[in-house]
């Protein structure tokens, strides 16, 4: 019997990773195919594949938007897709893997997603998300620690516990851009040689005032410079050992550093200062429009590229002390699963028993700011559900900006509401989420076809 292995990973490592694993396992069980799925989530690698299991496997399925150490699968047939495909079409992935032959080769010759995507765009997205996934723990920890420091007042006295907590949180936040750049570079360069130029480039981006945009540019610059050097720098065999420990680190850091300081730094500073000034000085109408756009992006693909772009944009602004977009993004990300849950409560006859149970799970995920809780409903009926989610989330984001709500922490959902001063204009912020939830539920109920209850 053919044995399969799989690896799932998403940028945040919270929801898509495990949803894809569950879908693939279920599809394999339905076909009586033995499978083991390794998950690479926020808590690290779980159910790790062993060398012996890899050697015995017929083929490997990789459903991931971040690096998963593909080198260990050399010589094995691989089906490689985005993590969202692992959730949506697990059966097709199983069939593709079973149809592979041992001569299919290595990951370099692996088959791609059944739904074709632009390879270059997918690569850029993967590199960016690799940086975001490694940056996220720092941002979450730093933001929450700063929020906790507010328990001791908005401006704690120097030397007090509150001030020390604030300094710890600020230290974590200050590492956000260098880590973002370092792991973008790591992903592009294909290994640790990309870390040093990425870290230095990201640090210089903060020093020249380039902010998170500078970190992204520095990461891509460092990655491609390092990748070029690995490929084209040739040394005599006796000196080859100097390449990874001396030549490439020295030249890559020097080139990236010089470009950031003398070429890219000033335009980046102008760009980031202009963006910051615009965000701080924009009128009410522009703020509402921005909130609406960010909100709709959070719901259009629920954890996909649009969702992550909006989240990355808002998270990056925290380093510039701009907190309105973060509030809009989190509120908008909570409303699709919360709206689905409410719809299953107020219109039970339109949902099967299984869907109503899924609605209960979605409510917990929604309260925790895990937008992916609405994916099963969106995937089952995208033409009706996705517009409902987008409208509800867009209104939520717009209201959050209209109410001038702010959020210091980049994650946490309802639990952040319990931290004093972490959210500006708390009552109106809760109202925005409530309105968005009700609107989403009404639209879902209205758009959804009547369906007999399957008891």
Active site amino acids: 10
CA distance 386 to 449: 14
Angle formed by the axes of helices 305-317 and 211-232, to 10°?
A: 120
Q: How far is CA 346 from CA 217, 309, 378, 452, in A?
A: 48, 33, 19, 16
Q: Which residue has the tokens 């290994």?
A: 191
Please, what is the Cα angle at 121 between 302 and 88, to 5 degrees?
40
Residue 183 φ/ψ, nearest 5 degrees? -85, -20
Instruction: Please give the C-alpha separations between residue 39 and each of 14, 186, 275, in angstroms, as whole numbers.
Output: 10, 20, 38
Distance CA(407)–CA(328), nearest Å, equals 8
Q: What are phi and psi of 210, to 5 degrees?
A: -80, -15
Residues 6+ apart with CB under 8 A from 382: none
- What is the crossing angle of helices 324-346 and 426-447, to 10°? 40
- C-alpha separations of 255 from 204, 258, 267 in Å: 13, 5, 18
Phi and psi of 346, rounded to 5°?
-85, -15
């Amino acid at each position: 019997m053919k044995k399969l292995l799989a690896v799932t990973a998403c940028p945040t490592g919270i929801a898509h990773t495990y949803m894809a694993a569950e879908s693939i396992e279920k599809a394999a069980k339905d076909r009586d195919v033995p499978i083991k799925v390794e998950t690479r989530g926020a808590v690290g690698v779980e159910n790790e594949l062993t060398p012996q299991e890899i050697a015995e496997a017929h083929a490997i399925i990789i459903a991931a938007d971040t690096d998963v150490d593909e080198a260990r699968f050399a010589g094995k047939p691989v089906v490689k897709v985005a993590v969202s495909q692992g959730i949506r079409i697990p059966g097709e992935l199983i069939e593709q893997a079973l149809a592979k032959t041992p001569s299919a080769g290595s990951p370099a010759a692996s088959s791609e997603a059944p739904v074709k995507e632009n390879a270059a765009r997918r690569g850029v997205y993967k590199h960016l998300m690799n940086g975001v996934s490694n940056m996220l723990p720092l941002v979450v920890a730093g933001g929450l620690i700063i929020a906790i420091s507010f328990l001791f007042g908005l401006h704690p006295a120097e030397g007090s516990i509150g001030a020390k907590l604030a300094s710890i949180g600020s230290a974590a936040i200050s590492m956000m851009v260098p880590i973002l750049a370092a792991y973008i570079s790591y992903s592009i360069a294909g290994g640790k040689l990309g870390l040093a130029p990425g870290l230095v480039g990201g640090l210089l981006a903060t020093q020249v005032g380039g902010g998170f945009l500078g970190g992204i540019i520095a990461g891509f610059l460092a990655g491609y410079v390092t990748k070029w050097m690995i490929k084209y720098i040739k040394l005599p065999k006796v000196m080859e050992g100097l390449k990874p420990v001396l030549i490439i680190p020295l030249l890559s850091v020097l080139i990236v550093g010089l470009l950031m300081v003398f070429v890219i730094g000033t335009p980046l500073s102008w760009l980031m200062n202009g963006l910051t000034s615009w965000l701080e000085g924009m009128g009410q109408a522009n703020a509402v429009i921005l909130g609406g756009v960010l909100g709709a992006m959070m719901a259009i693909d629920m954890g996909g590229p649009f969702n992550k772009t909006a989240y990355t944009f808002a998270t990056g602004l925290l380093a510039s002390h701009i907190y309105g977009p973060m509030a809009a993004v989190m509120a908008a990300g909570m409303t699709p699963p919360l709206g689905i849950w409410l719809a299953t409560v107020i219109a039970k006859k339109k949902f099967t028993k299984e869907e109503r149970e899924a609605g209960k799970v979605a409510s917990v995920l929604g309260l925790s700011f895990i937008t992916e809780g609405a994916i099963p409903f969106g995937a089952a009926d995208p033409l009706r559900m996705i517009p409902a989610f987008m409208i509800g989330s867009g209104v939520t984001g717009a209201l959050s900006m209209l109410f001038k709500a702010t959020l210091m922490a980049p994650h946490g959902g309802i639990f952040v509401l319990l931290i004093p001063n972490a959210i500006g204009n708390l009552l109106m912020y809760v109202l925005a989420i409530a309105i968005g939830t009700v609107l989403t539920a009404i639209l879902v109920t209205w758009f959804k076809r009547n369906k007999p209850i399957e008891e």
